[in-house]
Amino acid sequence: MDTIFTRGPSLNNRLALALVLSVLLIFVDHKLEGFKSTRVYLNSFMSPIQYLANLPGVILSESAQRLASKERLLEENQTMSNQLLLMSQKLQQFDVLAKENEQLRLLLDAPVRKESRKMVAELMAVDKNPYSQQVLINKGAIDGVYLSQPVIDDSGIVGQIMEVGSTNSRVLLLADVTHAIPVRSLRNDIRFIATGSGSLNELYVEHVPHSVDIQEGDVLISSGLGSVFPEGYPVARVKQVVRDESRPFSRVIVTPTASLDRLRHLLLLWHESDESQDSKTQDPKMQNPKTLDDATEEQAPEDKDSKDIDQEESENA
């Protein structure tokens, strides 16, 4: 007698098939990047759901801000007024220094650094993977965001864009173990490489010889090498230097200047080279170059005049 429900493959065969398919998909995605475009489309498709999931938190945050006490608002207002006064005094000094720097660069025929484009972004979500330090922001390709774009906050460099969707993007933080940034010491201009440790409060400076002049409290800023991060932005402060002669290099631990565990509003930066390329395309000298035919036409009358002079001298002789 035939049974109604036929028996399928065993559980062991199903498990083996699932493992083989999983390994195959991981290999195709990691080595061949076969699902790169698919991931972008899925990210764009999931962005409305992420906005909806983030909506209750935004509503609660706004409600809590509106219910803040009057005394707290007055205290914050007084604090902000004092900070504004101090920042205004520093800004006046910076204006004088900027003008002097511009004049010195003109004297040295050096190019003057122009103000780069910036855009404010807001944090949407944080990656829950404990082995990955990534966050999601609410700016994407429609806002002009591109891969490897530098991201900062009010204290220093945060990281760079690693994935771009249509309306949101994923930021790889400095603390991620796969991230590295070229830096230099603000005190003596010695260059280093700061790598992520996996912890939000620590970075490692690797391959530092024992004879290098680096001390606790030194400020490390971006060196500008690699054409990813602009030069001069704070990155970290040296926390600990361990010089063990039994090891080939010193162990240097630094603390990021940016509050990677308390991010909310971020700032996207554009490189000066992107804006300079647009200005070059509008240069009339670049649009109307002199061709070889024009040059030969200019030289042709001169050759004709020289031949006439030689003919007259031969007739006189």
Model confidence over 256-271: pLDDT tens digits? 999 898 898 899 999 7
Calculate mean pLDDT across residues 220-226: 92
Does the pLDDT at position 232 exceed 80? yes
pLDDT of residue 209: 93
Can you give the three-state secondary structure of the chain, one letter per residue? Answer: CCCCCCCCCCHHHHHHHHHHHHHHHHHHHHHCCCCHHHHHHHHHHHHHHHHHHHHHHHHHHHHHHHCCCHHHHHHHHHHHHHHHHHHHHHHHHHHHHHHHHHHHHHHCCCCCCCCCCEEEEEEEEECCCCCCCEEEECCCHHHCCCCCCEEECCCCEEEEEEEECCCCEEEEECCCCCCEEEEEECCCCCEEEEEECCCCCCEEEEEECCCCCCCCCCEEEECCCCCCCCCCCEEEEEEEEECCCCCCCEEEEEEECCCCCCCCEEEEECCHHHHHHHHHHCCHHHHCCCCHHHHHHHHHHHHHHHHHHHHHHHHHC
pLDDT of residue 296: 42
pLDDT band at 274 (very low <50, low <70, confident <90, very high): low
Calculate mean pLDDT across residues 224-252: 92
Which tops the pLDDT comparison, 173 or 7?
A: 173
State the pTM of this model: 0.60
pLDDT of residue 315: 52
User: Of 30-39, 92-101, 211-220, which range is least confident?
Assistant: 30-39
Most confident range (mean pLDDT) of 4-18, 85-99, 191-205, 300-314 is 191-205
pLDDT of residue 110: 57
**Average pLDDT value for the chain:** 80
pLDDT one-digit tens code per residue, 101-160 = 877 777 776 555 667 788 999 999 998 888 889 999 999 999 999 999 999 988 899 999
pLDDT of residue 287: 38
**How large a percentage of the chain has pLDDT more than 90?**
36
Does the pLDDT at position 316 exceed 60? no
**How large a percentage of the chain has pLDDT more than 70?**
78
pLDDT band at 295 (very low <50, low <70, confident <90, very high): very low
pLDDT of residue 314: 52
pLDDT band at 98 (very low <50, low <70, confident <90, very high): confident
